[in-house]
Amino acid sequence: MPNLPALVLVHAFPFGPAMWRRQMTAFPGWHVVAPPLPGFDEHPRLDDPTMDNYARDLLGTLDKMGVERAVFCGLSMGGYTIFGVLRQAPERVLGLILADTRTSIDSPERRAARERSIALARTAGPAAIAEEMIPNILGETTRRRRPEVVEEVRSIITSQPGETIADGLLAMMNRPDSAAVLDHITVPTMIVVGDEDTVTPPSDAEFMHRRVQGSTLVNIPATGHMANLESPDAFDDAVRSFLRRIV
């Protein structure tokens, strides 16, 4: 579909492209792609997993797909990856959707928790990681009222290999601060956050919104960190109205 504008959906940790299942068909008139990051869905792992290497790998995948320029939409680790794309190849970015993500680095406590999770991923595997993560990444409302979303999240997480999960944790815990990247963004930008997101809370979204000139901020009610899975209708509506501003 070379004549349609491209929308690249970049997945969160430790999800893989399956988290974008609904969004793949939600934006008629757009060539929507959701490439796997290293190690996910049998995409080769990297010897040196860093967020900038994930970004390089993503750009290589897009080259192979013939996607030169695109609107990039990343959720959480997908956003961390897009900050790497903005450092390496800003000319490929037509517009930005930064969902449930942040530019700051991990606190010492968060780094220590990552180390424990790396050991857990290697010894106990993805099911243990899913148990650990679900209470944090899904909003209170979703956990109480949307059991089917809880099950979907568990099934996507447990389909990924433990080594891929360990790599992702390592890449995230060593990621650089990306706040300075925000000052150079000149393309249309929308920032999205679930109001019950405790991993990358609304204060992180407000920080990015203040720092990216002309950006818009969309707050999705009764929704946690996984906005596109927890409230797909509101998420897709926000993306559709943003995309209308681009073409």
Rule CB under 6 A: which residues touch ligand MLT?
12-13, 76-77, 137, 172, 199, 225
The tokens for 22 are 């609904």
Closest alpha carbon to 212 in 243, 237, 178, 245: 178
Neighbours of 167 (CB within 10 A): 26
Query: Mapped to the 3 state alphabet, what secondary structure does 83-142 carry?
Result: HHHHHHCHHHEEEEEEECCCCCCCCHHHHHHHHHHHHHHHHCCHHHHHHHHHHHHCCHHH
Find the shortest distance in angstroms from Cβ 100 to ligand MLT: 7
Taking the complex as a whole, how short is the minimal distance between the CB of residue 177 and ligand MLT, in angstroms? 13
CB-wise, 30 or 227, nearer to ligand MLT?
227
Q: Which is nearer to ligand MLT, 76 or 103 (CB)?
A: 76
CB of 168 to ligand MLT, least distance (A): 8
Q: How far is the CB of 80 from ligand MLT (least distance, A)?
A: 7
Distance, CA of 227 to CA of 200 (rounded, Å): 11
Q: Is the CB of 30 or the CB of 54 nearer to ligand MLT?
A: 54
Of 3, 64, 11, residue with least CA distance to 29:
3
- Shortest approach of ligand MLT to residue 15 CB, angstroms? 7
| Of 67 and 199, CB closest to ligand MLT | 199
Q: Of 92 and 225, which has the nearer Cβ to ligand MLT?
A: 225
* Chain Cα centroid distance, residue 118: 20
